Amino acid sequence: MRAVAQVWLRAFAGAALLGLGVMACSPERVVGNAKLPPDIPDPTAVQTPAGAVSAYHGALAHFHSAFGGEGSDFVSASGILADELQVEQIGVPIGVFGTNMRLDSRTMPEVLNPGFNERGDAYGSVYAALQKVRGQVAMARGLLTHYAPDSLQALSGHLYVLEGYAEIFLADLYCSGIPLSTVDFDGDYTLRAGSSTSDVYRLAVTLFDSAITLAADSARIVNVARVGKARALLALAEYDQAAQAVAEVPDDFRYAVSYVNRPGSRSFAYFGPGVARPYPVADREGENGLDYISSHDPRTAATPIAATTYDGRPIYFPNKYATTGDSPIVLASGIEARLIEAEVALQSGDAGWLTTLNALRTDGTYDTQPDAQDSTSVDTLWHAGSGGTAGLAPLADPGTPAARLDLLFRERAFWLFLTGHRQGDMRRLIRNYGIEPGRVYPTGPYPGGAGHYGTDVTAPIVGESSNPYFHGCSSRSA
């Protein structure tokens, strides 16, 4: 018994001694402060004035991309859903529900199928891109506020403009019930429930007001904010306030988003090696589309490229933008300001609406690029008071309210061709003017003998399934 006890005591003593030795090396002590791998940037390095400015540049870059950039952009996605662009494939028959065909044919299910047939129509990626603009703006604004000197605070005004337009685009293209979640620049994020279309426009108005206040020293920023505010107010059918907002915007004002022929920085119009699916200009798409090509209007002129569709139909590219993808796209302009004023005048029964439209057609010139294959940058500037645009004769009053409305919106469609306005206008026709959707959007057989156009006038919201406060579109109507 004594021997057993001795062995036991020895064992215990030895084990305890070794145990103490092991425990002296605590895991924390050994592992120490984790050193970041060399390819991971130090997260604290952004909290500087330079970091804030870089974040501001990031917001600009994201906006460029989301607005009209190569890949997923609002201008082409909204143009496809509207009657501006069509989905065609060079050399192969047009199918149903191929890339962007759901968008083009107005048949966009709210629930998408994961897996190989989830082709990622542009409305999904454009939604993400626009929301990313909002997030980047919030981060940049936070960094500017906390880490940049006062001299840089005016940049915040510009950021409000970007956010305001991003929200207009969301409201134009997507169904009612858009979640406007928020990101803290140094903290967490807050998820939001869906906001109605009108609430989103309303929020945009307040953002533009903030921009006008913060960037008062910059006429360019103030004017783009004014046009944006008026655009949102038009959508809200607050016509007088809209006219008031753009009253001081000069005729020759233009805020264009520039692109450059480099990967990732080109516009949506780029068509080069590796691009399989250009989006050609539509002409009388469906039964209701406008005659962008056959009208031979210089504002929407398009040139056929060498390739054709599977059944030999020509594929038209807009003269307005070079296929090199480096043409600027106008976000807001004096033209739009005058068009807003004309619409407000028409609303109020003021005959000046036609005068305003004709002034745009005859007083200024509108430069377009004659050869779409030319790689030089296209100037989409309207030169106010320069003598009129060739081919644009004064318009006559059609006489009836409906025809006047059609004429006004046709002028908007042609002046603002492929600048991301048409989809919002078509919805406004339905929402604010009570026009039947079937009279506004393309209908009838879908090209290529592959089914018919659907009835969607808005795109569903995708990518929010993990947002517990989001319960789908509250309305898919205009």
Partner 1 sequence: MRIAHVRKSMNAFGIAALLVWYAGPVAGQTTAPTGGRATVQPAATSGAPDAAGAGGDLQSAAPMQPLERIVSLHLRNVPLNDALREINKQARLGLTYTPRVVPVNKRVTIEQDSITAGEALDSVLRGTGTKAIVTKAGTVALVRGERRSERVDSAAGVVMGRVADAADDRPLAGAIVTVEGTELRAVTTDSGWYGIPKVPAGMRTLVVRFLGYQSAKQPVLVVDNQATRTDFALRMAMSRLQETVTTATGPQRRVELGNDITVIDADSIVATQPVTSVTSLLEGRVPGLSVLHSSGAPGDPSRLRLRGLGSILRSNDPIIVVDGIRIYSEQSSDRSNNLAQTGFTTPSPIDQIDPSSIETIEVLKGPSAATLYGQDAANGVIVITTRKGREGPPRWTMSATRGVTTMPGRYPVGYFGWGHKLADNSPILCAVRDPTCAQDSLSRFQLLNDPDLTVLGHGERTALTAGVSGGSATLTYSVTGNFSDEMGLIRLPDVEAARYMHLRGTAPPGWMRHPQRYTTWGAATRLGAQLGSKADVSLTAMFQRGSQRRSSLEHQLDGLMGTYFNRATGQYYVANPGSFYGYDINDQLLSDYFRRVEDVATTFTNGVNATWRPRSWLTASADAGLQLLNRDDESLLPPGMPTSFVGDTVGSIGIGYGQSLMRTINVRTTASAPLPHGFHFRVALGANYTNTSTRDLSITGRGLSPGTSAISGARDIDRPAQGAFDITSFGWYVEPSISHDRFWLSTGLRIDGGSTFGTQVKLPSFPKLSASYLISDEPFFPFKRIFNTLRLRVAYGQAGTWPGPADRLRLFQQQSRYIGSTSVNTLELQSVGNTHLKPERSKELEGGFDADILGDRLSVSLTGYRKTRYDALMSLPVPASVYGGGSILKNVGVIRNTGLELSLDVQPVRTDAVTMSTRLHLSRNRNRVLSLAKDIGRFCTSGSSSGCVAAGYPLLGVWARPIVGYADANGNGVITADEVLVADSLAFMGEQLPSYETSLHTSLSFFRSAVTVSGSFAYQDGLTQTSYAAGNNVIFSQGLNDPGAPLGAQAAAVATPLTSYGAIQTVSTLRFTSLAIAYNVAPSMARRLGARSLSIALQGTNLGLWTDYRGKDPNVSATATGNGVVDRNALPTPRTWQIRVSASY
Distance CA 112, CA 120 (A): 9
CB 24 → partner 1: shortest distance, Å? 10
| Strand ranges inside 110-268, DSSP E | 178-179, 182-183, 189-190, 194-195, 254-257
Nearest distance, CB of residue 112 and partner 1, angstroms: 9
DSSP, collapsed to helix, strand or coil, labels residue 368 as coil
Of the pair 51, 352, the CB lying nearest partner 1 is at 51
Closer to partner 1 by CB, 110 or 436: give it.
110
Angle of CA points 242, 247, 252, to nearest 5°: 115
Q: In the complex with partner 1, which residue's Cβ is closer, 258 or 455?
A: 258
Rank residues 439 and 471 by Cβ distance to partner 1 and give the closer one.
Answer: 471
Tokens representing residue 80 in the block: 């496809």
Q: Least separation, in Å, of the C-beta of 212 and partner 1? A: 22
Closest distance between partner 1 and the C-beta of residue 302, in Å? 24
Site of tokens 């604010």: 432
Q: How far is the CB of 475 from partner 1 (least distance, A)?
A: 17
CA end-to-end distance (rounded Å), the chain = 93
Minimum CB distance to partner 1, residue 267 (Å): 11
Residues 301/380, Cβ–Cβ less than 8 Å: no
Residues with Cβ < 8 Å from 398, sequence gap 6 or more? 404, 406, 407
Residue closer to partner 1 (CB basis): 198 or 265: 265
Q: Smaller CB distance to partner 1: residue 113 or 294?
A: 113
Q: Which two tokens stand for residue 111?
A: 């629930």
CA distances from 222 to 57, 209, 257, 327 (A): 19, 9, 16, 24
Determine if residue 237 is left, alpha or beta; phi over 0 gives left, psi from -120 to 50 gives alpha, anything else beta.
left
CB of 288 to partner 1, least distance (A): 23
Which residue's CB is nearer to partner 1, number 27 or number 149?
27
